[in-house]
C-alpha cells in the first residue's frame, strides 16, 4: 500500500490542509458567512437551465457560454442553447470553435486547458464570467462531467452557477482550493472566457471632492493602467475553515489517481479505497501509517461519472505542467497566448479603466462606438475606456433609469472603475449626444444593479459649459490635496474660459 500512501500524501500536499467534508454549501448571492457578495450577480431571469442536443447528450458547455454572454452583453450568443438543440450534444474545445464559427462568428473568446488558476483569477478580477469544467458536487452524490459558470473567486470563497440548478438562491459556495480540485477532475481544467467587457458597475453619485479632482482623475487613469504579465498571482486559499452543511464523511478523488478514492471525516483523511484491487486501508494521521487491507466503513461510490455535456475523452491530453491555449479558435503556444493577452483587445487586465455605458437605439449606440474608434477628438481615450451599449429594456441598465424613462431615448454615463463592492462613481451623464468633441471630456465605468442612494438626475453633464468653478473649502484644509485642488481649479477655469 506504499503507492496509495504516497498518493494520499500527495493529495494532502496538493490541496493543502483538507477543507471540511464536501466543503460546499448552497446559498444565495452572499457567501454563507455573509461577508462577501457575489461578483458576477446575473439576475435569475437571465439564467438558463441545461438541456440536451438532438441525440439527448447534454449541452452544459453551450448553456454556460450563453449565460456568460448574458452577463457580458454578447448579443450574438443569445439563443445559442436553442440553436444547439438541433446539433448533437456534448462539448470539447474543437467543437466550441466550430459551433461559434457557425452561430456567432464575431464572438471573441479564449479557451484554456491546464491547471494554472491565474487565468480564472484574472477573468473574475476584470469582471468576466468564465465557463469552467466541474467534476464533483454533493448535489450529484459523486463524480460528474459538467461545465458551469464561475461567478465568484476571492481568497476565501469560490462560487459557481450550475446550469442544472439555475436561480439566485442556488449558487454553490466553497473554498477556492476545493473549487480548483473539482475544476481539474476528469482530465484537467478547461475554461472558456469571453473577451467582451463586463457590464458596468453599480452607479453611485460622485462626491464634490471627486468632481473637483476630475482633471487629475482623468490624467492618472491614463498613466496608471495595470497590466497582466502572464505570471501567476500566487497561491489562493481560505484564511479560515469554510463552514459545512453536508455529511461529515466525504469520498474524494484526485485527477492523477483515477483508480483510487480517499475517505475524509470532518476534513481529515482517514483512509483510501482501491477500485482495481477492491480493498480499503485506514490511515492514521498521527503515526502516518496505513492499516492492512480490509472493508471500507462506508460504501464507496460506484466509479461512474454522470455526464451533462462535457466530452472529457476529447479534451487535450496534457503531460505534467503542460497547457493548451486557443484564441478565437486558433491553437497557440503559451508564449504567444500571453503576448496576445497583453496586447489589448483581449483579456488584458483592464479592471482599472473608466467605463462608458450607452443606452439607446442601435443607430445611436453605433455612432458613439464609431466615434470612439475613428474620431481624432477621442483618439486619446480609445484605449482607456471599456464601452458597453444597451437597449432601454436590458436588465443591466435598470440602475441608470431616469424618472422620465422610457421618454428618454438616449443616456450616456461615464464611471470610475468599480471598487471591491462593485460600485463605481458616476462622473458624467448626458441624455443626448452632441458628437465626439463634447464627449472628449470624461472617462469611467457603468451599470448593473441600483444603489439606493444613487440618483441618476444628480449626475452632472460635464460636456456642458461649466459654471465658474467654486473651490470646496473643506479641501483647502487638507495639505495633501491643496496642490491638486489648485491644479484642478486652474484646469477647469481654462476649460470654462474656452467654452464660454
List alpha helices for 317-358, DSSP H.
Answer: 334-342
Within a domain: residue 76? yes
Which cell goes with 118? Answer: 491565474
List alpha helices for 106-239, DSSP H.
Answer: 118-125, 176-183, 208-212, 214-223
State which H helix or E strand residue 475 sits in: helix 473-476
Cβ neighbour number for residue 409 with a 10 Å cutoff: 13
- How long a stretch of residues is the chain? 500
Task: Clarify whether residues 148 and 107 are in a common domain.
Answer: yes
Task: Clarify whether residues 446 and 314 are in a common domain.
Answer: no
Number of domains in the chain: 2
Task: Clarify whether residues 320 and 417 are in a common domain.
Answer: no
Task: Clarify whether residues 141 and 175 are in a common domain.
Answer: yes
Task: Clarify whether residues 355 and 328 are in a common domain.
Answer: no
Within a domain: residue 329? yes
Within a domain: residue 218? yes
C-alpha–C-alpha distance, residues 318 and 114, integer Å: 7
Pick from 19, 67, 25, 24: nearest CA to 42: 67
Q: 245 with 25: CB under 8 angstroms?
A: yes
Residue ending a domain, choose from 342, 367, 392 = 342
Using DSSP, state whether 313 is helix, strand or coil. helix
Cβ neighbour number for residue 114 with a 10 Å cutoff: 20
Angle, vertex CA 99, rays to CA 93 and CA 103, nearest 5: 150
Which cell goes with 103? Answer: 452561430
Cβ neighbour number for residue 58 with a 10 Å cutoff: 24
Which cell goes with 188? Answer: 484537467
Task: Clarify whether residues 137 and 53 are in a common domain.
Answer: yes
Residue ending a domain, choose from 320, 342, 364 = 342
Within a domain: residue 280? no
Pick from 264, 236, 5, 33: nearest CA to 136: 264
Within a domain: residue 134? yes
Task: Clarify whether residues 218 and 85 are in a common domain.
Answer: no
Task: Clarify whether residues 140 and 217 are in a common domain.
Answer: no
Within a domain: residue 130? yes
Pick from 49, 47, 30, 48: nearest CA to 39: 30
Within a domain: residue 231? no
CA diameter of the chain: 90
Q: How far is CA 438 from the centre of its chain?
A: 33
pLDDT tens, N- to C-terminus, the chain (500 residues): 333 333 343 333 333 333 333 479 999 999 999 999 999 999 999 999 999 999 999 999 999 999 999 999 999 999 999 999 999 999 999 999 999 999 999 999 999 999 889 889 988 988 999 999 999 898 887 789 999 999 999 999 999 999 999 999 999 999 999 999 999 988 789 999 998 999 988 788 866 555 555 444 444 443 333 333 333 222 222 223 333 333 578 888 776 566 688 898 888 889 998 775 678 999 988 888 889 999 888 888 876 778 998 998 888 877 766 788 888 888 877 666 655 554 444 566 787 888 889 998 889 999 998 988 888 888 877 777 888 999 888 888 888 776 665 566 888 888 888 887 788 888 888 888 888 888 876 443 333 333 456 666 677 665 566 555 444 444 334 444 445 544 555 556 555 555 55
Within a domain: residue 178? yes
Which cell goes with 253? Answer: 478523488
Task: Clarify whether residues 334 and 393 are in a common domain.
Answer: no
Buried b / exposed e over 243-256, threshold 16 CB at 10 Å, is ebebeeebbbbbbe
Here the CATH number for the domain that contains residue 13 is 3.90.70
Task: Clarify whether residues 55 and 26 are in a common domain.
Answer: yes
Task: Clarify whether residues 323 and 180 are in a common domain.
Answer: yes
Task: Clarify whether residues 330 and 387 are in a common domain.
Answer: no
Range of the domain at 103: 2-196+307-342
State which H helix or E strand residue 93 sits in: helix 93-103
Which cell goes with 454? Answer: 444613487
Pick from 282, 309, 305: nearest CA to 295: 282
Amino acid at each position: 500500500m506504499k503507492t496509495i500512501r504516497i498518493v494520499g500524501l500527495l493529495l494532502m500536499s496538493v490541496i493543502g490542509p483538507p477543507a471540511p467534508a464536501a466543503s460546499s454549501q448552497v446559498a444565495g448571492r452572499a457567501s454563507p458567512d455573509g461577508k462577501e457578495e457575489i461578483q458576477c450577480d446575473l439576475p435569475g431571469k437571465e439564467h438558463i437551465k441545461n438541456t440536451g442536443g438532438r441525440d439527448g447528450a447534454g449541452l452544459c458547455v453551450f448553456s454556460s457560454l450563453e449565460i456568460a454572454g448574458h452577463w457580458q452583453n454578447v448579443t450574438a450568443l443569445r439563443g445559442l442553447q436553442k440553436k444547439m438543440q438541433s446539433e448533437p450534444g456534448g462539448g470539447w474545445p474543437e467543437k466550441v470553435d466550430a459551433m461559434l464559427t457557425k452561430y456567432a462568428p464575431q464572438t471573441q473568446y479564449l479557451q484554456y486547458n491546464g491547471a494554472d488558476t491565474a487565468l480564472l483569477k484574472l477573468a473574475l478580477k476584470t469582471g468576466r464570467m468564465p465557463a469552467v469544467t466541474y467534476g464533483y458536487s454533493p448535489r450529484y452524490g459523486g463524480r460528474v462531467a459538467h461545465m458551469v459558470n464561475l461567478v465568484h473567486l476571492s481568497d476565501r470563497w469560490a462560487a459557481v452557477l450550475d446550469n442544472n440548478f439555475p436561480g439566485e438562491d442556488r449558487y454553490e459556495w466553497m473554498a477556492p482550493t476545493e473549487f480548483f480540485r473539482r475544476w481539474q477532475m476528469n482530465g484537467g481544467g478547461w475554461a472558456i472566457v469571453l473577451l467582451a467587457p463586463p457590464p458596468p458597475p453599480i452607479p453611485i453619485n460622485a462626491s464634490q471632492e471627486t468632481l473637483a479632482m476630475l482633471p487629475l482623475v482623468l490624467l492618472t487613469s491614463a498613466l496608471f493602467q495595470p497590466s497582466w504579465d502572464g505570471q501567476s498571482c500566487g497561491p489562493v486559499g481560505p484564511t479560515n475553515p469554510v463552514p459545512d452543511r453536508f455529511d461529515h464523511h466525504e469520498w474524494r478523488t484526485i485527477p492523477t489517481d483515477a483508480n483510487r478514492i480517499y475517505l475524509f471525516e470532518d476534513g481529515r483523511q482517514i483512509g483510501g479505497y482501491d477500485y482495481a484491487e477492491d480493498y480499503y486501508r485506514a490511515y492514521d494521521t498521527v503515526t502516518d501509517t496505513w492499516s492492512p487491507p480490509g472493508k471500507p466503513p462506508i460504501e464507496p461510490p460506484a466509479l461512474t461519472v454522470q455526464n451533462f455535456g462535457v466530452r472529457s475523452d476529447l479534451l487535450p491530453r496534457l503531460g505534467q505542467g503542460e497547457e493548451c491555449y486557443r484564441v478565437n479558435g486558433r491553437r497557440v503556444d503559451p508564449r504567444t497566448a500571453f503576448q496576445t493577452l497583453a496586447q489589448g483587445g483581449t483579456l488584458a487586465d483592464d479592471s482599472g479603466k473608466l467605463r462608458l455605458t450607452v443606452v439607446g437605439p442601435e443607430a445611436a449606440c453605433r455612432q458613439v462606438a464609431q466615434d470612439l474608434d475613428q474620431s481624432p477628438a477621442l483618439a486619446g481615450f480609445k484605449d482607456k475606456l471599456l464601452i458597453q451599449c444597451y437597449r432601454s429594456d436590458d436588465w443591466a441598465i435598470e440602475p441608470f433609469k431616469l424618472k422620465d424613462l422610457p421618454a428618454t431615448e438616449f443616456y450616456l454615463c461615464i464611471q470610475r472603475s468599480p471598487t471591491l463592492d462593485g460600485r463605481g462613481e458616476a462622473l458624467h451623464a448626458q441624455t443626448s449626444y452632441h458628437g465626439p468633441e463634447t464627449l472628449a471630456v470624461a472617462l469611467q465605468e457603468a451599470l448593473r444593479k441600483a444603489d439606493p442612494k444613487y440618483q441618476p438626475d444628480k449626475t452632472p453633464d460635464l460636456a456642458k459649459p461649466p459654471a465658474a468653478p467654486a473651490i470646496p473649502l473643506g479641501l483647502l484644509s487638507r495639505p495633501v490635496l491643496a496642490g491638486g485642488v489648485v491644479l484642478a481649479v486652474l484646469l477647469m477655469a481654462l476649460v470654462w474660459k474656452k467654452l464660454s
